[in-house]
A and B are shown apart, each in its own frame.
Chain A
Amino acid sequence: MYLSQSGPALISFACALKTSRIKFCLLVCAAVYAAPTVALGQVKPPKSKQDSIARADSIARADSIALVKQLEKELGASGADTSSAASSQGPRATGSYMNIGFVTLTDAGWSTAHDIGAIERGDHDPKVNGFTMPNAEISLDGNVDPYFKGFSNIVLKIDSAGDTGIELEEAYGLTTSLPANLQIKFGQFFTEFGRQNPQHPHAWSFLDAPLVLVRMFGPDGLRSQGVRFSYLLPTSFYTEALVTVANATGGTTSSFRSPDSPEIHGGIIDNRQVEHASDLLIAPRINTSFDLTETQTIVLGVSAAFGPNNSGPSAKTQIYGADLYWKWKAAAAEAGFPFLSLQTEALWRHYDAAQRIAEANPAVILPSEVLKDDGAYAQVLWGIKPRIVAGLRGDFARGNQSAFVSELRRDQSRWSPNFTWYPTEFSKIRVQYNYDNRKAIGTDHSLWFQLEFLIGAHAAHKF
């Protein structure tokens, strides 16, 4: 059994009863919180120091607390020597300071739609009848030093005209040794909103992005330059609170101040610099999980994203989301099979469009209005036997009526059964049928195949 983590909270409460002793109590709390992280280093300290460090390593023990206090005094609480210099990565055998991986997706297939780009709006979706290479990704990661890890994903993709584009999809640092269960990510990264937005296409269970995610976050998902704070709550079950603060400008902030926003609101862009904190994108999230039984786990999350849009000088967008993931895996599972999983996300967007000059015709003034969109998807995966997965996804997105009729806000739905064979965890072959239905356009049928290969280091997947 584990020592309850409510200790610090109770100490704080006890301390509140004696305000004159607040300072002492704060020190105790700090020591209780800091004990796990202070004074233990990944970089092996000298033997004598290691012994004293080892002695300090037991939280919630009076003698250890005293020792930690003494060490803090001697070494300076913020001194580099006392940080928990921690690489959380286990041993990797590449013999290099950096893990390098390369993964490519190749799509092939046919659709009855004449405008495939309008039903497959995601940047990593198939784009044309015939062949598409929507994602060739170079991933790099490694420990920077005892305090940070670094990650980068550089994506190359070939568009429908056959031209190769390159994007710095992610490049971020992650702290490894902050005290008090905190963690900070900084750089360019996918906003941690919902389940699928932060995932790379190679980790998706379907060949294309869900309609609702493309509607809310654009073809490339929501990602920007910023910082993400995370706190692992001291609860008996997993609960993580996250908040991202990032730029709200650029092509990958579709619902905010993207240069492509006129496709949503139809107006001329209100261009301006960041002047206030409210000009940034703020995205909070809470994620929690329970093991329902030995073989079943559920993960629940709620997310939001708030920021300015560029339909007017003070126009704002709010996006809310809820997500659920449930998985059953057999107790005696070979290579992780058989399993059954359900993943679903629902999103709502409130896009406050200001009165604006129509981009298509400057003589037309579009009225101030609220563009409301919502949508959801649910996908069930059945890992029938080792390396064979059957999936079914239902998916829709819709929007209210507005003065500007946006093609991006058309009501749409889709059913996608698929079947994937993973010869190993380094390759996959997938076939997916899509039944698309667009309001006032009608239905389309598409059949797509996807092949993936991965060479080099393979980062383990999160749950």
Chain B
Amino acid sequence: MKLMNLSRTAAFALIGITGAATQATAQLRVVATTPDLASVAREVGGDRVNVVALAKPTEDPHFVDAKPSFIVTLNRADVLIEGGAELELGWLPPLLENARNGRIAAGAPGRVVASEGIRLLEIPTSFDRSKGDIHSLGNPHFMVDPVSAKIVARNIANHFAQVDPKNAATYTSNLARFNARIDTKLAEWQKELAPYRGAKIVTYHRDFIYLAQRFGFTIVDELEPKPGIAPSPSHLAQVIGEMRRENAKVILVQPFQNRKTAETVARQTGASVLDTPQQPGAVSSSTTYFDMVDNIVRALATGLGAQK
């Protein structure tokens, strides 16, 4: 019996040594498809989780390469957080097919569908690709609305607690702290943007509709004629006309979108181009979800303020 205990101790000690080489405590290994989800997961998980994001903050999350290194990352994950509205449809399925990890299989406690419980906008009534790259479950760019982030955080906390029940209380208290901070910040953001309620804005892609709804902006048009379709001169001419008629003075772009196209339209309309990355980490001043929204709010307040 003593021998058995010894070998058991040795075995576990070795696990411990191996583990200690890479992490101080047994943190949950969490993979998020995009950095915004990763940031919320860090808020909820605190020091109990180690979170990595697959997509880079600067790249188009619709078109991420399904790199083999991601297979390894997913193979070892305890939890996978995906957007859940087909944003990752072009690259996540083949990775998961090869990851061989039942812990993050659809329906498992380790699989978080971030959009669960969020009322997605623009759910198509018919599937027709002549209307562009429409996501059949609705517009997937919901994370830019802080209230959506609260729902996502709740989903994450629920799954963390299922996978790691010993730390459930930590996740619950982290969630409460996150929610409180969102509430505080949301009040600040709303106050900062209140003077611009009703302002007309233009975006490159249909990726700010949730933000517009939350803060009361009107999106006049997108530079893309249809979702995922590159801007054409004839469509841009139409947008320029609309912007002049509607007096829209700002164009929102993300780092991976063609800023030159936006600048061309801005020159014709006297508008300004606002850099509004939706992923934490896209610019050095933004590492968390809160920084990301702060930056967008500040850019909008500055851009719209200058136009007044």
> Do the beta carbons of A15 and B7 come within 8 Å of each other?
yes
Binary contact readout A226-248 vs B (1 if CB under 8 angstroms, 0 otherwise) = 00000010011110100000000
> Do the beta carbons of A5 and B107 come within 8 Å of each other?
no
Most A CB atoms within 10 A — which of B3, B75, B258?
Answer: B75
A:419-463 near B, CB below 8 Å = 424-426, 455, 458-463
Closest to B277 in A: A332
> Do the beta carbons of B50 and A2 come within 8 Å of each other?
yes
Give the complex CA separation of A451 and B19 in angstroms. Answer: 53
> Do the beta carbons of B97 and A89 come within 8 Å of each other?
yes
A85: which B residues are within 8 A, CB to CB? 102, 105
Give the complex CA separation of A17 and B133 in angstroms. Answer: 60
Asked if A93 is an interface residue, CB under 8 A from chain B, the answer is yes
A87: which B residues are within 8 A, CB to CB? 105-107
State how many angstroms separate the Cβ of B131 from the closest Cβ of chain A.
12
A21: which B residues are within 8 A, CB to CB? 3-4, 7
A:22-41 near B, CB below 8 Å = 24-25, 28, 32, 36-38, 40-41
A42: which B residues are within 8 A, CB to CB? 102, 105-108
State how many angstroms separate the Cβ of A415 from the closest Cβ of chain B.
28
> Do the beta carbons of B68 and A331 come within 8 Å of each other?
no
Asked if B60 is an interface residue, CB under 8 A from chain A, the answer is yes
Binary contact readout B100-144 vs A (1 if CB under 8 angstroms, 0 otherwise) = 111101111110010000000000000001000101110000000
> Do the beta carbons of A183 and B100 come within 8 Å of each other?
yes
Asked if B59 is an interface residue, CB under 8 A from chain A, the answer is yes
- How many of chain A's residues touch chain B, expressed as a range? 35 or more
> Do the beta carbons of B11 and A11 come within 8 Å of each other?
yes
Give the complex CA separation of A138 and B283 in angstroms. Answer: 44
B163: which A residues are within 8 A, CB to CB? 54, 57-58
Count the A-B residue pairs with Cβ separation under 8 angstroms: how many? 249
Asked if B58 is an interface residue, CB under 8 A from chain A, the answer is yes
A1: which B residues are within 8 A, CB to CB? 22-23, 50
Binary contact readout B69-110 vs A (1 if CB under 8 angstroms, 0 otherwise) = 101110110100010101011111110111111110111111
Asked if B185 is an interface residue, CB under 8 A from chain A, the answer is no
Q: From A105-113, A174-182, A371-379, A403-411, give the one contacting chain B.
A: A174-182
> Do the beta carbons of B133 and A424 come within 8 Å of each other?
yes
Extra pairs beyond A51-B165, A89-B96, A235-B72 (5, CB < 8 Å): A43-B107, A86-B102, A238-B69, A455-B129, A460-B93
26 CB-based A-B contacts, threshold 8 Å? A2-B29, A7-B14, A14-B7, A14-B11, A15-B11, A18-B7, A21-B3, A28-B11, A57-B109, A59-B78, A61-B26, A84-B105, A84-B108, A88-B93, A88-B101, A90-B96, A93-B136, A176-B97, A297-B67, A332-B256, A333-B256, A335-B62, A335-B228, A336-B65, A386-B230, A463-B65
Which residues of A are interface residues toward B (Cβ below 8 A)?
1-7, 10-11, 14-15, 17-18, 20-21, 24-25, 28, 32, 36-38, 40-44, 50-51, 53-55, 57-62, 83-94, 149, 174, 176-178, 181-183, 232, 235-238, 240, 287-291, 294, 297, 299, 327, 329, 331-336, 386-387, 424-426, 455, 458-463
Which residues of B are interface residues toward A (Cβ below 8 A)?
3-4, 7-8, 10-12, 14-15, 17-19, 21-23, 26, 28-29, 50, 56, 58-60, 62-63, 65-69, 71-73, 75-76, 78, 82, 84, 86, 88-94, 96-103, 105-110, 113, 129, 133, 135-137, 162-165, 228-230, 255-258
